[in-house]
Amino acid sequence: MIDVLVIGGGNAALCAALMAREAGASVLLLEAAPREWRGGNSAHTRNLRCMHDAPQDVLVDAYPEEEYWQDLLKVTGGITNEHLARLTIRASSTCRDWMRLHGVRFQPPLSGALHVARTNAFFMGGGKALVNAYYRSAENLGVQIRYNAPVDRLEIQEGHFVAAHVGGERIEAKACVLAAGGFESNREWLREAWGQNADGEWPADNFLIRGTRFNQGVLIKHMEEQGADMIGDPSQSHCVAIDARAPLYDGGICTRIDCVSLGVVVNKNAQRFYDEGEDFWPKRYAIWGRLVAQQPSQIGYSIIDSKAIGRFMPPVFPGVQADSLPELAHKLGLDADTFMRTLNDYNAACRVGTFDHTALDDCHTEGVAPAKTHWARPIDTAPFYGYALRPGITFTYLGLKVNDQAAVHFGGVPSDNLFVAGEMMAGNVLGKGYTAGVGMSIGTAFGRIAGTQAAQAAMKSGANSMWGKEKTRAAA
């Protein structure tokens, strides 16, 4: 019998597998995806939020524990667990040497991401390079890896893990780590969680999934049915406004639209609905997913003129271009009269001071609702561009409740050999909101804890698998 079974194939799963293997356990990792799609959402990540008290290789200045904690407190609005959050934060200050040992390399912040130069360490080549490095290291250490191996249910007896089922196959192990991601790719579940709006629409039908198609939440649902203690609100997810032409899955980072604050955004009725200049885009992009989700047909249109070109990160698809605003409305399928009324009202309301897109400048509107409080300049210089926006789901928050040993809980009692890491428990630390790189901090910290704990549980359960003894407390 295998010592430690790891279910999942992303960052948290790999951290768990590597730690368990390093602790001397035999490890089998089951990745639901085929090899070419391995790594889940980790393959789309790019950095790790790191506490540090002094400059460290690619990290400048300092990012002390307290500041990190305050940032987390702010973005979650207090929906967090201070003990687990501080554990994550401290782990982030020491884990990078271990990551390097397994082949992960870091690089200075990417262009266009200098605002996180102090707080975030970027993976050289991004998350897929990290995932590749971990798989390679795991293979070298003798971790068994199986692709195309989605687990559909577990055998659990009184909170004790016995076996996992993959299709018709039953796999026993002395301990198990669950790290199989959230449920954001499960369209049915999203539909159910978001429900129907006042117009009778099912908003989630118009959502795009920024990451993997393999996060179906099978085990989250299964664990809930098995009576595991849950955490988080199923209708909550990290949801950003992305290009409506993005693929249904795996659009990743490049489908973002960064020109919202430089123009206006209208809905399908050609009306504005929110202050586009409320704050810097990196601080606001995460609310725009929900804003667009609340509009009819869950679509928005970011409208800019040529003055904005060269001042925002280039989008992946070219914008719809027109030489006049009515022509743009026509090309976007918007009612031209309403569109012109909206644009004329906005243009007339602009009070242009000194435009500076790198500061909260004094260009604002007066006498128009909603107001635009910064970077308000009339949209008047052809050619004009329009980008259709849709809500893009990055990840969900619903997960399993854990303690500082990453143990799955049943009725408040921690399991002795079932652990959970990554998106499946991130909601313990991150009940809502998001700040760059914190998902990888949680996945790395709890993946490593879960791997260590699982290895210990397997050793404790009696025999080492090497001697072929199969003494588990609960008979299968």
Partner 1 sequence: MQQLENLTREARALANGEVVPGTAEAEVARQLQICNACRYCEGFCAVFPAMTRRLEFGQADIHYLANLCHNCGACLHACQYAPPHEFAVNVPQAMAKVRLSTYTDFAWPPSLGRLYQRNGLTVALATVGALAFFMMLTLWLKDTLWRVPASADFYAIFPHNLLVGLFAPVFLFSVLALALGVRRFWREVTPGRDYEAPALGAIQGAAAAEAATDALRLKYLDGGHGEGCNNEDDAWTLWRRRFHHATFYGFLLCFAATSVATLYHYLLGWAAPYDLPSLPKLLGAAGGVSLLVGTAGLFRLNLRRHPQHGDAAQKPMDRGFMALLFFTSLTGLGLWGARGTAVMPALLALHLGVVMALFLTLPYGKFAHGIFRSAALFKWSLEKRLPSKLQLGDD
Please report whether residue 307 would count as binding partner 1 according to CB under 8 A: no
Q: How far is the CB of 86 from partner 1 (least distance, A)?
A: 28
Nearer to partner 1, 123 or 395 (CB): 123
Given the complex with partner 1, which of 121 and 303 has the nearer CB atom? 121
Residue 97 makes contact with partner 1 by CB under 8 A: no
Measured from the CB atom, is 132 or 465 closer to partner 1? 132
Nearer to partner 1, 124 or 348 (CB): 124
Q: For 414, how many CA atoms within 13 A lie in the half-sphere containing its CB?
A: 14
In this complex, which beta carbon is closest to partner 1, that of residue 20 or of residue 257?
257
**255 or 396, CB closer to partner 1?**
255
CB of 31 to partner 1, least distance (A): 16
Structure tokens at 122: 């970027």
Question: Smallest distance from the beta carbon of 143 to partner 1, in angstroms?
Answer: 16
Q: Least distance to partner 1 from the beta carbon of 44, Å?
A: 5
Kindly state whether residue 250 participates in binding partner 1, applying the rule CB under 8 A: yes
Three-class DSSP labels, 15-62: HHHHHHHHCCCCEEEECCCCHHHCCHHHHHCCEEECCECCCECCECCC
State which of positions 122-181 bind partner 1 (CB under 8 A): 122-129, 132, 136
| CA distance linking residue 391 with residue 202, whole number of Å | 13
Q: How many residues bind partner 1 (CB under 8 A)?
A: 47
375-392 core/surface letters (b: 16 or more CB in 10 A; e: else): bbbbbeeeebbbbbbbbb
Q: What residues contact residue 132 under an 8 Å CB cut-off, 6+ apart?
A: none
The Cα–Cα gap between 15 and 49 comes to 16
Which residues, at least 6 apart from 166, have a Cβ–Cβ distance to it below 8 Å? 30, 149, 150, 151, 152
Contacts of 460 (CB under 8 A, 6+ apart): none
Instruction: Report the distance separating Cα 126 and Cα 122, nearest Å.
Output: 7
Task: Find the part of the chain contacting partner 1 (CB under 8 A) among 73-81, 85-93, 112-120, 151-159.
Answer: 112-120
Is residue 302 a contact residue for partner 1 (CB under 8 A)? Answer: no
Q: Is residue 314 near partner 1 by the rule CB under 8 A?
A: yes
Residues 22-41 interacting with partner 1 (rule: CB under 8 A): 36-37
Site residues for partner 1, 173-232, by CB under 8 A, read: none
- 354 touches partner 1 by CB under 8 A: no
How many residues are there in the chain?
476
143-163 as b/e: b if 16+ CB within 10 A: bbbeeebbbeebbbeebbbbb
At its nearest, how many Å lie between partner 1 and the CB of residue 306? 12
**Which of 282, 326, 370, 383 contacts partner 1 by CB under 8 A?**
282
Residue 63 Cβ vs partner 1, minimum distance, rounded to whole Å: 17
Asked whether position 373 contacts partner 1 by CB under 8 A, the answer is no
- How far is the C-alpha of 205 from the C-alpha of 194, rounded, in Å? 10
Question: Given candidates 64, 108, 150, 370, which one binds partner 1 under the rule CB under 8 A?
Answer: 108
Burial of 63 (0-12, 13-18, 19+ CB in 10 A): buried
Q: Minimum distance from CB of 422 to partner 1 (Å)?
A: 18
Identify which of residues 151 and 436 has a Cβ nearer to partner 1 in the complex: 436
Q: Which residue in 60, 65, 67, 107 binds partner 1 (CB under 8 A)?
A: 107
Stretch of 101-109, 270-278, 340-348, 402-410 contacting partner 1, by CB under 8 A: 101-109
Sort residue 66 into left (φ over 0), alpha (ψ -120 to 50) or beta.
Answer: alpha
Q: Does 252 interact with partner 1 (rule: CB under 8 A)?
A: yes
Site residues for partner 1 per CB under 8 A? 36-37, 43-44, 46, 105, 107-108, 110-115, 122-129, 132, 136, 247, 250, 252-256, 258, 280-282, 309-318, 357-358
